[in-house]
Amino acid sequence: MARGGRLDIAAIERARVMPRALALLSAAPRTIAAIPAPRSPGGPHDYYSEGDYWWPDPANPGGPYVRRDGRSNPGKFDGHRDALIAFGRTVPMLAAAWRLSGDARFAAAAMRHLEAWFVDPATRMNPNLNHAQAIIGVNGGRAIGVIDTLQIVEVARAAQCFAEREAPGYAAIRPEVERWFAAYLDWLLTSPFGIEERDQKNNHGTCWLLQAASFAALLGRKQVLEDAETRLKTVVIPTQIEPDGRQPLELARTKPYAYALFNLDVLAATAWLLGEGELVRWKTQDSRSIAAAIDWMAPYIADKTAWPLPPDIEYRDGFPVRQPSLLFGGLAQDRGDWLALWQRLDADPTTAEVVRNFPVRQPVLWLADGNLDRLSGH
């Protein structure tokens, strides 16, 4: 599916998206309000999750949980996060199908989910993450939990697509949807948890930045977008990427391969949202750049057996998938090899942990009309 050496993105995505979106047309919305969280200190509309790597202490049964980095506890409460991930997969898929086809059924189905999560008082989620990634016996929520709403970055992209292209039915709920995102963005920017997460030096700080940028783009908050670009250039890239493209903070983890892929995807998506190819290519005076990080990682995406570091302690067979960093980097750098690699990887993984760490799933929500038309040969 190439024309003039470039991928036909629209055709690739149409073949992938349409059958999956058709299967979602009758899916009923299910929000956190329908999922009891017995250990939550909040109410039925308050999102709650528990830390992944925290386990009962064998030396102190019934006491505070203890950390086992990289080892996900299957007994943690995941009900709200699973629902949020499902929402973050469903609405963007429907939005992508609507953009590719113009079929109003896809827009109508997406509206039901948006209304349930953001508008209906009986089912909506409160716009904060005060009780995310709690540690049993230690606290009722942590700043680190802000990463959970990375799953709705593409919901904001979908809402922006609906607004800009006047999707049928969106005008009626747009004010409430944007009011929810405005309240959540303000919480992200001003709450102690939001500020603490912003200042994290690893993937958590990157994920905060992509969320702030995506929600601000939906709302037209120009100052937040300008601040995000400045932070990307002056804080995130200089502290997270080495001149040779390594990501030392991610490579030091017990799952270095997955963490390096995950952070790179979020970095590339942030750069693309804020400045498309220009920011992907942008480099510091000592040559630190997102493009360099993609260049360092791409050979190990193509051939994981060449990975020079210890293998991940969990889910080592789940990655790579269709990493969006390859798409954004390939477009920015005119790298046909990266685009071809992106095309042949799995775009719709089913392993829950892999899905959770693959939050940028719908390329057509990230490509402007000019890009999509040019790439598809229209």
pLDDT in tens, 270-300: 999 999 999 999 999 999 999 999 999 999 9
Cα–Cα distance measured from residue 377 to residue 371, given in angstroms and rounded to the nearest whole number:
10
Domain boundaries, the chain: 2-376
Cα–Cα distance measured from residue 323 to residue 210, given in angstroms and rounded to the nearest whole number:
16
| DSSP letters spanning 309-372 | SPPPSS-TTT-----HHHHHHHHHHT-HHHHHHHHHS-SS---HHHHHT-----GGGTS-HHHH
Classify 247 as helix, strand or coil: coil
Q: Check whether 334 has a pLDDT greater than 60.
A: yes
- Where is 212: in which H helix or E strand? helix 203-219
Q: Is 128 exposed, middle or buried (0-12, 13-18, 19+ CB in 10 A)?
A: buried
The pLDDT of residue 371: 60
**Sign of torsion over alpha carbons 309, 314, 318, 320:** negative
Going by the DSSP 8-state scheme, the letter that residue 134 receives in this structure is E
The pLDDT of residue 6: 64
Q: Provide the pLDDT confidence category of residue 32 given band limits of 50, 70 and 90.
A: very high
Percent of the chain with pLDDT over 70: 96
pLDDT in tens, 314-325: 999 999 999 999
- Residue 144 · residue 204 · CB < 8 Å: yes
**E strands in the chain:** 2-3, 6-7, 48-50, 54-55, 66-67, 131-134
Q: Which of 271, 279, 323 is nearest to 300 (CA)?
A: 323
pLDDT in tens, 190-216: 999 999 999 999 999 999 999 999 999
The pLDDT of residue 370: 56
Mean pLDDT confidence for 345-357: 95
- Residue 356 · residue 76 · CB < 8 Å: no
Tokens in use for 51?
């830390």
Q: Provide the pLDDT confidence category of residue 2 given band limits of 50, 70 and 90.
A: very low
Partner residues linked to 7 by β-bridges: 2
Helix axes 290-302, 256-281, angle to 10 degrees: 140
Amino acid at 85: I
- Residue 193 · residue 141 · CB < 8 Å: yes
- Residue 29 · residue 123 · CB < 8 Å: yes
> Max alpha carbon distance in the chain (Å)?
65
Phi/psi at 134 (nearest 5 deg)?
Answer: -65, 155
- Identify the residue whose tokens are 């190990």: 300
Q: Check whether 338 has a pLDDT greater than 60.
A: yes
Q: Check whether 154 has a pLDDT greater than 70.
A: yes
Going by the DSSP 8-state scheme, the letter that residue 27 receives in this structure is P
Average pLDDT, the chain: 95
The pLDDT of residue 378: 33
Cα-to-chain-centroid distance, residue 274: 15
Tokens in use for 311?
């293998």
Strand pairing report for 6-7 and 48-50: unpaired
Classify 132 as helix, strand or coil: strand
Q: Note the pTM of the prediction, 2 decimals.
A: 0.94
- Identify the residue whose tokens are 């995310």: 132
CATH number assigned to the domain covering 2-376: 1.50.10.100
Cα–Cα distance measured from residue 207 to residue 216, given in angstroms and rounded to the nearest whole number:
14
Q: Provide the pLDDT confidence category of residue 3 given band limits of 50, 70 and 90.
A: very low
Classify 131 as helix, strand or coil: strand
pLDDT in tens, 216-270: 999 999 999 999 999 999 999 999 999 999 999 999 999 999 999 999 999 999 9
The pLDDT of residue 72: 86
Q: Provide the pLDDT confidence category of residue 368 given band limits of 50, 70 and 90.
A: confident
Mean pLDDT confidence for 150-160: 98
Q: Count other Cβ atoms within 10 Å, centred on residue 4.
A: 8
Cα–Cα distance measured from residue 212 to residue 273, given in angstroms and rounded to the nearest whole number:
11
The pLDDT of residue 8: 87
pLDDT in tens, 46-97: 999 999 899 999 999 899 999 998 888 999 999 999 999 999 999 999 999 9
Partner residues linked to 3 by β-bridges: 6
Q: Could you give the C-alpha distances from 101 to 156, 160, 296, 310, in angstroms and in order?
A: 20, 17, 37, 45
Q: Provide the pLDDT confidence category of residue 4 given band limits of 50, 70 and 90.
A: very low
